[in-house]
Structure 1
């Protein structure tokens, strides 16, 4: 039986390799499925008459079977994904690979959010010795992509990997077009300047604003469990989840009971659990700094289980007093490093004032790495959103997953069709996005090892098989992402998300490979010792 991966490979071969329009490709795939041909390998091995009978076009059938046979010979058999990745499309390319989002997520190739995120997983190696000894050869665009993808783990931790890849590719596309204009390769205003992103929300990545499309209804989470463990009996019943409570350095099994808080005072997020750690956030109104201690004491007395938590961090923001100009802010980590500043940052982003937030964590004995930031952000955002909803305020982006819009692609095709009010969040149809699969493929093929300084006695470097080259590129990508992870980890607890985003571009500029200035340097490759990236880490 063919797998989802088989169908994806077949769709990619027909639409990208054969340059067949998406609707025609879908019709062909359905016809092939009707005669039990569901993968590249099955089509390659089938009698030609069977393929011709399904497609009803002898010439197209022969061409498709030839393409399938070639793919099988290269190793892309439809059962094992080929590592010969398709390059990420540039903003100016007229041969753009088009993916139909509805087909990928709502048709025969439908995947759950968890399956989609798992299929996009990127390699990662944190071996510092191995990283320091590696030199890669690359041009600048995929390096920007790698910097941006891993940066977004820290600056927008609520975004799933598919969104981070899409947003990062949007940055690369916009940056490439700006460079092309400066070199005289392209002229005229960009699609963004012409208003193709008008009315869409925007986020900032590596100092560049990117127009985004909200992925309404995309309910993604990592390995954590959100609310699924809850058992509630009646409106006033206790809410219980199986979790872990423990002292600072130990973990122990226990049942944590989340008692309902009065709706008139505290708004609560759902508890989130990952690797035996559990987080929950609560938000309430505060009008004077002196109320903070009283409110927290009342919260702890009303919920005795909170006293068993490892951390009860808090933060508040108060609007200026009459005649004042500055919002008063204060926070306390309670041992959860960086938590207080994170809460204040989220409150600023959401415009929350006269608000107190308490974030509680039961530590499960396992370090969570960057996932910790994502879980804390999700909890705090959820609690604030609930409070703002109850008080009649409107929440803007609110941590929703987003796509990076491909504005140049929209301009080069038919004008987008909108229904409802796009500016206010109505449904939007026909808007092209940067596909995460293309961005991932671009990364996987972009980083070969630098040519050796010395060659063999024959004067030539030993020739590698295609399979070995692909494996080497994938390994190098893991080392590059590992180097970036170590850099961002070293700074994450010391910089705000805004400052980290700003510095990321400067770090990229500091290590990017040297190429010729002017048109001759367009797309040129250079050497990058990964040790240069490690040197960007914060000095203790």
Structure 2
């Protein structure tokens, strides 16, 4: 059975040196290698060429991989990497903090313990009186990290930090492009793999299969909690409500996608007809393109309907196949604006479809209860936030960002003695505790009244309501301002 470390070591080997491959190609190869029980570097090094050629048909490439695995083992199985500058200096010269990482963790439990953050404050009076001074990005991170605790409770802190940093990165990239600061730097690989939606952003994720960070006792409790959570989510989904994307308009043509769970051919047809019957505006649309897939035993039954948009249904079916989804009906509605879009219509149809289907990935739990990493697909992201071996957002950097981003407002004319660095750092940690406390009170007040999807959807609007005010346009990029925690408390459900 492959451990997470086995997989990570193998991915590192496949994406570096003479075997360098794309992450997408490496992950695909690892899956194929597992099918013939070659789940680690040691297993590949000790196998024969004939076995490996069942996966890698090219003999030269197969020999090269075996040689690389043997060399890796002889070298001690480690690659010397330059340490991050933040940890390069002796521990005695760095600031002392209760939340400082001193040693590289060796086990999942040690990793989670090393990432500890200040506990959320439960002092509502202190929270209501507090004001913090920060910029927008770390506030997005704090929102996301605490939100995931409620929408995806199976995720450990390391995953919450990684996923939260992915949201920050996607948001910053989108803003920079809209301001003209840079051109879009999203890789073509961003369309690959599973995605989940967090605060309105589609985050590409990597499963951390077999990552067990809890003690036996807490793990048993967690399994019970997860089963109860799964039942809740199945009950949520049993009414087969439609998931709806945001609409996109280009050259006067508007696209919007809808999807729902189905169980049979007759269910697909009935659901499609009911959708049009209950929505007169859809009946007036130019096209209602559809595709569906259903699993019957070990077989998949699938079909599509162009509804006048040539090859449109086949395009939607390709999307469902690519995401390996079954039991789903996907409908994309188009209102034609009189201007031909050409091939761009496929991009727009794909975008609204991914938006819609990502909601299924989150609510249905298609990713299971596996811990996740947030994947980076941008070419120019700050490398300190990215793992050197795999393009994932490192939880350590996200944690450090949180601990150092929430200062107290500067009071003009204050003649008090200047605070020491240690005092400033302690104050930031206390402010983070208060902020976490405010967010916990907010999310907990709505938890039993909204689905996970609805809570996630509202979180972005809540963030917008309380984020610091900065100058508009490029001048406000990275600008800081005050955030009153009482404003966060005011967003709680009334009567709480």
Query: If you compute each CA radius of gyration, which structure gives the higher value, 1 or 2?
Result: 1
- 1:280 and 1:480 map into 2 onto residues whose CA distance is 27
SS in 2 for 1:203: strand
Change in 2 beyond 3 A, CA 1:491/1:462: same
SS in 2 for 1:197: helix
- 1:396 and 1:167 map into 2 onto residues whose CA distance is 17
Match of 1:204 among 194, 197, 207: 197
SS in 1 for 2:482: strand
Q: Deviations over 1:375-421 (max 9, x none)?
A: xxxxxx9xxx9xxxxxxxxx9421211100122258899xx9xxxxx
1:246 is aligned to: none
- 1:131 and 1:450 map into 2 onto residues whose CA distance is 15
Q: What pairs up with 1:154-169 in 2 under 5 angstroms?
A: 154-169=150-165
Cα deviation, residue 317, structure 1: 9.8
Maintained 8 Å contact 1:204/1:210: yes
**Is residue 401 from structure 1 mapped to residue 371 from structure 2 by the alignment?**
yes
**Is residue 440 from structure 1 mapped to residue 435 from structure 2 by the alignment?**
no
**Is residue 487 from structure 1 mapped to residue 442 from structure 2 by the alignment?**
yes
1:272 is aligned to: 224
Cα deviation, residue 322, structure 1: 9.8
1:252 is aligned to: none
- 1:510 and 1:120 map into 2 onto residues whose CA distance is 29
SS in 2 for 1:23: coil
1:515 is aligned to: 470
1:128 is aligned to: 124
Maintained 8 Å contact 2:134/2:483: yes
Maintained 8 Å contact 2:127/2:435: yes
Cα deviation, residue 212, structure 1: 1.0
Maintained 8 Å contact 1:225/1:272: no
Q: What pairs up with 1:302-317 in 2 under 5 angstroms?
A: none
- 1:323 and 1:405 map into 2 onto residues whose CA distance is 37
Q: What pairs up with 1:185-264 in 2 under 5 angstroms?
A: 185-186=181-182, 188-191=183-186, 194-221=187-214, 224-226=217-219
Cα deviation, residue 167, structure 1: 0.4
2:25 is aligned to: none
- 2:490 and 2:141 map into 1 onto residues whose CA distance is 20
Gaps of 5+ in 1: 1-20, 27-39, 41-63, 86-103, 228-242, 244-269, 284-288, 290-315, 328-348, 354-380, 386-394, 417-428
Q: Deviations over 1:152-196 (max 9, x none)?
A: 01111111110010000001011111111222221x3222xx313
CA RMSD in angstroms, aligned pairs only = 4.1
Change in 2 beyond 3 A, CA 1:121/1:73: closer
Cα deviation, residue 318, structure 1: 7.6
- 1:223 and 1:410 map into 2 onto residues whose CA distance is 42
SS in 2 for 1:477: helix
SS in 2 for 1:272: helix
1:111 is aligned to: 106
SS in 2 for 1:200: coil
Q: Which moved more, 1:501-510 or 1:196-205?
A: 196-205
1:34 is aligned to: none
Change in 2 beyond 3 A, CA 1:73/1:120: closer
2:485 is aligned to: 530
Cα deviation, residue 443, structure 1: 0.3
SS in 2 for 1:210: strand
Maintained 8 Å contact 1:135/1:449: yes
- 1:529 and 1:164 map into 2 onto residues whose CA distance is 24
Match of 2:136 among 133, 140, 158: 140
Change in 2 beyond 3 A, CA 1:521/1:279: closer
Q: Deviations over 1:123-145 (max 9, x none)?
A: 11121000011111000000000
- 1:475 and 1:350 map into 2 onto residues whose CA distance is 45
Change in 2 beyond 3 A, CA 1:526/1:170: same
User: Could you list the runs of 4 or more consecutive aligned residues of structure 1 that deviate by over 6 angstroms after TM superposition?
Assistant: 278-283, 316-323, 349-353, 410-413
Maintained 8 Å contact 1:271/1:280: no
SS in 1 for 2:121: coil
Q: Deviations over 1:423-446 (max 9, x none)?
A: xxxxxx953110001001000000
Normalised TM-score (structure 2): 0.53
**Is residue 72 from structure 1 mapped to residue 92 from structure 2 by the alignment?**
yes
